[in-house]
Homo-oligomer: A and B are copies of this chain.
């Protein structure tokens, strides 16, 4: 695992590519940022803080994420919208020999067809990142969002 400034640069790059892929709806690149045996969850803060398991979106492998992408792009009936991610305050919560645990704030803006851009979902990422084949990838990504309202309209990954 990288360390020090080399790690910091690689982490910044990983998050930059994560949001660039998502906001371009480039799901092939997005999936490639996860290891096969990964966990991905989008959870309201209330539930996270109380240790409740309910998640708005959940996957326990890259295969399940691929299914979700298939749903989004092929079968799921929904009104399309653009996403735009902003990430800030990335820091390392715990650095191990094989993995680092990171945290960062995020804000996602949504733009529906013929509408103005609006705040969609804000919260924090609680992630676990490993090195695989020379590149950093997510082994775990928990998106804890602040609004207690569960947005039914949350279609795309956060």
Tell me the bound Cα distance from A17 to B8 in angstroms: 15
Complex Cα spacing A114 to B146, Å:
10
Does any Cβ of B come within 8 Å of A36's Cβ?
A: no
**Contact surface of A with B, Cβ cutoff 8 Å:** 5, 8-9, 12-13, 15-20, 23, 45, 82, 84-91, 103-105, 107, 109, 111, 113-124, 145-149
Q: Could you tell me if B85 and A86 are in contact, using CB atoms closer than 8 angstroms? A: no
CB within 8 A of A117: which of B82, B117, B146? B146
Task: Tell me which residues across on chain B come within 8 A of A122, comparing CB atoms.
Answer: 84, 109, 111, 117
Known: A45-B82, A86-B88, A111-B148. 13 other contacts (CB 8 A): A13-B91, A19-B88, A20-B105, A23-B124, A86-B89, A86-B107, A107-B107, A107-B109, A109-B146, A111-B147, A114-B149, A116-B149, A117-B121
Please state if B16 and A90 are interface contacts (CB–CB under 8 Å).
yes
How often does this chain occur in the complex, in copies? Answer: 3
CB distance from A72 to the nearest CB of B (A): 18
Smallest beta-carbon distance A108→chain B, Å: 10
* Of B5, B82, B114, B119, the contact of A116 (CB 8 Å cutoff): B119
Q: In the complex where A45-B82, A84-B123 touch, is A20 in contact with B89 (Cβ < 8 A)? A: yes
Q: Could you tell me the distance in whole angstroms from the C-beta of A95 to the nearest C-beta in chain B?
A: 13
